[in-house]
Amino acid sequence: MSTSELVAALRRRGVTDVDDSDLARALYSSDASLYRVLPQAVARPRDTDEVLAVLDASRELGVPVTMRGAGTSIAGNAVGPGIVIDTVRHLNRVLEIDPEARTARIEPGLVHARLQAAAAPHGLRFGPDPSTHTRCTIGGMIGNNACGSRALGYGRTADNVEQLRVAFGTGEVVTAGPGAPAGAAGEALTRMVEDQLGHVRTHFGRFSRQVSGYSLEHLLPEQGRRLDRFLVGTEGTLATVLEATVDLVPDDEERLLLVLGYPSMPEAADAVPALLAAAPGRLIACEGIDARIVDLVAQRGGVPELPRGSGWLFCEATGADAAEVLATVQAESGALDARLVRDGGEAAALWRIREDGAGLAARSLATPAYSGWEDAAVPPERLGDWLRDFDVLLADHGLEGIPYGHFGDGCLHVRIDFPFAAGDPSSTGTYRAFLQACASRLTEYGGSLSGEHGDGRQRSELLATMYDDTSLALFGAAKAICDPDNLLNPGNIVDPAPIDADLRPVRPRHDPPTALRLLHDDGSLGDAVHRCTGVGKCVAPSPGGVMCPSYAATREEKDATRGRARVLQEALDGSLLGGVTDPAVHEALDLCLSCKGCASDCPTGVDMATYKSEVLHQSYRGRRRLSRPRSHYTLGQLPRWARMTAPVARVANASLRIGPVARMAKAVAGVDQRRSLPTFARRTLRRSAREVEPVERPDVWVWADSFTNHFLPESGLAAIEYLRAVGLSVRVIDERACCALPWVTTGQLDAARGILGDAVERLAPYVAGGAPVLAIEPSCLASLRTDARELLEGDAVEQVADGVLSFAELVERLDLPLPDLTGVRVVAQPHCHHHAVIGWGADEALLRRAGADVTRVKGCCGLAGNWGVEQGHYETSVAVAETHLLPAVRDALAADAQTVVLADGMSCQLQLDDLAGVRAQHLAELFASRAATEVPTA
């Protein structure tokens, strides 16, 4: 069956959202696992009828179907040949919430966090909550029988399903639940179990995390012959979920966290049985976390205080007596030290470490670590011994791994440094040998290969180690009843693919020389893009940081950090796309704002802005000048044109107010006609400073970056005014020093290296002189701290990167008096580079210490320097601004017209002015306006 025939067949059946492009196939070829299978096409059905139409085409044409939710499956459960059905795009609704029955009826592509948000007004929640809860789908959770950190209290997904409407591989559609007709497939499955009652009772459901294989215990008469719950965890190999009704539980706001410290992770695991016995049924979570993961988080920001130890248990209880329950648990814990966390913000910060565990663990060793032996489980009373044996197994195979996980349920997560080598099939030998050894040893503990992620391609072959021949025959019989033609997610559970087949390259086959140093990956672009493990924090519908503002606007996989990384991996692995110059690569990168949000928000440290600069450099290097977009020569060299325009700024501004002239200028520059053009400063910051009597040895030097100098000198003048008001002498550096940011973001890296080199050379003596050097524009400062290090080497680079300060950093370092901002309401949009590189914590702390009421806007403004004004980006730029910034500003000003809108970045200020008619202030302007009229307070 050719791909064109397949697509035509789907469209004849009314399935219009079908994509068989190389870009789509690359995006959907992998999930969060080590596996890669190229689909023929991707279908995104708009309703249940279209899902059934896809399944009908599958049966008629003999083409396999794989269901996909958020693509966060770690075992390779969501990749397959033929058709991949993406449920997230359209099948994502809450159909009904019944508060009295405490149930929710939902579509399979509904994201977990969206269900929680819908249930919250009723005081309810869905119990299981995987670490990927911000983006995983309920359908995916049903496929894998997902559990999460609080399954100890709320159970697995199977325990929370009330009814499923499904389509079997035969085409039969049934509604399965208590008392619901089972249909022909359900009746046949019931008879199959009736014939093997003794075997099913003794081999299945032995402990809560026995998730591997098919959970036949749910079909037992004493379990109510629950076909719906049996289908949970079958990974879409027997039936396709069309609709689900799930149970909801009361969401108790009385929640406390007890952190217990132990000398090691095995010793933490040893304590678990006593903790569970101390408070039977009262702990809703008992999670283990390793010191190496915590240390990695500490390097990137801050970690709330933890008790003494190298391994910790996070124990959570709810209810009015939660403190008493946890006191009893602590008394029986045998811990080195303990801490009861009462502050909700601190508890949330600690839980975020656990939620980011998979991504953090992948980068916590000297070499990259991978999934593979990801979520095996044993009865909790045997966990300590299993951990010790597991450490021996690692050592025997020359491997390292960092364990963490759901210790209260006996479920262990780990990422392991398997020695995969690019283009070397033999490098998978260690992977196979280790997994086989672990599976064999696990049987001695009565354990399960999977405790919540499913078997997928990673463990299905190993089921013959865990289960006997009778059990395996029952799995085959169930498959024959429900999917006799093996079209639903083939290669998983029954008739499995080998565990070392379809492994995607995790090291690049092709690794071109780079202009950037790529410091966090030793100069390898291939290793850099393979940082992405697919955990998908970037595809959360409501991200908490900045990462992937374009995805927040478009909801297209290609516009997420993960999607772009996958496309770059395909380009460098050379199997589908033709290198970094392939049109699919440029399509995926087109809506990347170079915001650098992923550099700080992605758990594995993907820095797509840097990779985009390198790709653009390689794509256009050595080609004729006109091959680049016009905007690269205009907006991408804006500081140069601003410098040339400075002597005639008034004339230029007047000319650009003439309609035809403005339209022509925009067309020539590659600017969208709906955009306003920035106004050139009539007097630059450096020129204004020359008119003030210079101070020979000032207390503070001000760096006049290109944007502040030529467009927003009032921000620099305000900083000078405030600093003088608090008694400091200030002087503007008179030498031109440009950070080259527009050249960097447009991939003009050879020119950027020269411009940045000059800037470092000119700024270094001032930094070395001892007086602090102040940067006004956060993106320029961020360029000194990141891009300069990527393009240049030497002590001067490090001195300048570390020695130039933001306004808030300067005020904090010198411990300067603060203006009285009591009663001042501030809604602040941190520049993306400020958030990602500099950090906005100092700014927020100063504002709060000064008495301001601060609301920090999430996400990106959507302008991002040249990107948002370029032709072809306007709609997405506006959509990004509407995700967070514009609604926040509108709401704040509607509530209080005197609210101060704060935005240090020129891009953010221009976006607010252009789209909302709001004049935003720099932090220095706010401080100066108050310092001029009020007595500063210490």
* pLDDT tens, position by position, 34-58: 999 999 999 999 999 999 999 999 9
Has residue 934 got a pLDDT over 90? no
Is pLDDT of 938 > 50? no
Give the residue, 891 or 180, on which the prediction is more confident.
Answer: 891
Q: How far is C-alpha 510 from the geometric centre of its chain's CA atoms?
A: 26
Both tokens of residue 518? 């790529």
How does pLDDT run across 447-485, given as a tens digit for each residue?
999 999 999 999 999 999 999 999 999 999 999 999 999
The token pair that represents 928 in the structure block: 């100066």
Give strand pairing partners of 258. Answer: 315, 340
- pTM score, two decimals? 0.92
The tokens describing 706, both together, are 């290109």
Under the banding of pLDDT at 50, 70 and 90, the label for residue 937 is very low
CA distances from 70 to 37, 134, 332, 351 (A): 17, 10, 40, 21
Instruction: Return the pLDDT at 932.
Output: 55
Contact 904, 867 (CB under 8 A): no
Q: Are 883 and 859 spatial neighbours (Cβ–Cβ below 8 Å)? A: yes
* Amino acid at position 623, single letter: R
Half-sphere exposure of 754 (CA within 13 A, CB side): 3
Decide the pairing of beta strands 18-19 and 41-43: antiparallel
Given a cut of 80, is residue 262 above it in pLDDT? Answer: yes
Q: 391-434: per-residue pLDDT in tens?
A: 999 999 999 998 899 999 999 999 999 998 865 666 789 999 99
| pLDDT at residue 358, rounded to an integer | 67
| pLDDT at residue number 423 | 57
Tell me, what's the pLDDT at 622? Answer: 76
The Cα–Cα gap between 402 and 411 comes to 14
What average pLDDT does this structure show over 349-365?
Answer: 80
How far apart, in whole angstroms, are the C-alpha atoms of residue 38 and residue 296?
34
pLDDT of residue 936: 46
- Name residue, tokens 């079909």: 219
Token reading at 265: 């992770």
Mean pLDDT, residues 581-594 taken together:
96
Please, which pLDDT band fits residue 665 given cuts at 50, 70 and 90? very high
The pLDDT of 319-328, averaged and rounded, is: 94
Q: 307 falls in which pLDDT band (50, 70, 90)?
A: very high
Residues present in the chain in total: 938
CB 433 within 8 A of CB 473: no
Contact 451, 380 (CB under 8 A): no
Q: What is the pLDDT of residue 112?
A: 96
Q: How many CB atoms lie within 10 A of CB 911?
A: 28
Residue-wise pLDDT for 90-114, tens only, equals 999 999 999 999 999 999 999 999 9
Please tell me the predicted confidence (pLDDT) of residue 424.
67
pLDDT tier, 355 (very low <50, low <70, confident <90, very high otherwise): confident
**pLDDT per residue as tens digits for the range 644-655:** 999 999 999 999
Cα angle 210, 140, 214; round to 5:
30
Q: Which residues contact 67 (CB under 8 A, 6 or more apart)?
A: 78, 85, 87, 108, 139, 143, 236, 240, 241, 489
pLDDT grade, residue 610 (50/70/90)? very high
> 303 pLDDT exceeds 90?
no
Cβ-in-10-Å burial (0-12, 13-18, 19+) of 798 comes to middle
Distance CA 93, CA 138 (A): 11
Tell me which DSSP letter residue 775 carries: E
Predicted confidence (pLDDT) at residue 133 exceeds the cutoff of 70: yes
Query: What is the rounded average pLDDT of the residues 230-252?
Result: 96
Strand order in the sheet with 825-828: 853-856, 825-828, 900-902
- What is the pLDDT at residue 301? 67
Give residue 178's identity as a one-letter amino acid code.
Answer: P
What's the pLDDT tens digit per position in 736-766?
Answer: 999 999 999 999 999 999 999 999 999 999 9
pLDDT tens figures, 863-872: 999 999 999 9
What is the rounded distance in angstroms from the CA atom of residue 329 to the CA atom of residue 349? Answer: 22
As a whole-number percent, the residues of the chain with pLDDT over 90 amount to: 86
Confidence of residue 507 (pLDDT cuts 50, 70, 90): confident
Name the pLDDT band for 691 (thresholds 50, 70, 90).
confident
The pLDDT value recorded for residue 232 is 98
Measured from the Cβ of residue 52, the count of other Cβ atoms closer than 10 Å reads 18
Distance CA 405, CA 502 (A): 27
Average pLDDT of the residues of the chain: 94
At 384, the amino acid letter reads: G
How many beta carbons lie within 10 A of that of residue 427, not counting itself? Answer: 16
pLDDT at 873: 97
Per-residue pLDDT at 239 exceeds 60:
yes
Going by C-beta distance under 8 Å and a sequence separation of 6 or more, which residues neighbour residue 458? Answer: 33, 34, 35, 74, 75, 76, 371, 372, 374, 435, 499
* Max Cα distance, the chain (Å): 98
Reduced to 3 states, what is the DSSP secondary structure of residue 846?
A: helix
Amino acid identity at 745: T
What pLDDT, on the 0 to 100 scale, is given for residue 506?
Answer: 81
Task: Give backbone dihedrals phi and psi of 289, rounded to 5 degrees, phi first.
Answer: -140, 140
Burial class (CB in 10 A: 0-12, 13-18, 19+), 673: exposed
* pLDDT digit string, tens, across residues 178-235: 987 789 999 999 999 999 999 999 999 999 999 999 999 999 999 999 999 999 999 9
Tell me the pLDDT tens digit for each residue of 134-176.
Answer: 999 999 999 999 998 999 999 999 999 999 999 999 999 999 9
Contact call for residues 311 and 267 (beta carbons, < 8 A): yes
pLDDT score, position 716: 97
pLDDT at 626: 55
**Torsion on CA atoms 494, 499, 501, 507, rounded to nearest 10:** 150
Backbone dihedral region for residue 319 (phi beyond 0: left; psi -120 to 50: alpha; all else: beta): left
Task: List, for residues 769-809, the tens digit of each pLDDT value.
Answer: 999 999 999 999 999 999 999 999 999 999 999 999 999 99
List helix spans (H) across 84-159: 112-119, 138-144, 151-154
In the predicted structure, residue 933 carries a pLDDT above the cut 70:
no
Residue 357 confidence (pLDDT): 72
| pLDDT surpassing 50 at residue 373 | yes
Cβ atoms of residues 447 and 386 within 8 Å:
yes
